[in-house]
Amino acid sequence: MKKNMGTLDRGIRVLLAVVVAILYFAGQISGLAAIILGIVAVIFLVTSAIGFCPLYSLLKLNTVRNQED
C-alpha cells in the first residue's frame, strides 16, 4: 500500500478520535451516537497509524507532500 495521508491529515484524525474518547468517558455522548462515533474514531486511528485511507484511493485524493510519482 502506498501512503496517501500526510502528517497533518493523520494528526487531525488522531485528535478527532481523542475528542470522541473524551466525550464518551465524560458522559457527553451515549447510545447510538457513541457507537457510531466510536467506530469512526477507531477507523481514524487505524488509517492514521498505517498512513493509508481506502476512501482517499477511491476518490483519488492524496495529502502526502513531496511525493515522487
DSSP per-residue letters across 2-39: -----HHHHHHHHHHHHHHHHHHHTTSS-HHHHHHHHH
Q: Tell me: the pLDDT tens digits for 4-31?
A: 999 999 999 999 999 999 999 999 999 9
Query: How far is the C-alpha of 13 from the C-alpha of 43, rounded, in Å?
Result: 9
Contact yes or no for 62/12 (Cβ under 8 A): no
Q: What's the pLDDT at 67?
A: 58
Single pTM value for the model: 0.86
Q: How many CB atoms lie within 10 A of CB 37?
A: 18
C-alpha cell at 38: 466510536
Q: Tell me: the pLDDT tens digits for 29-63?
A: 999 999 999 999 999 999 999 999 999 999 999 99
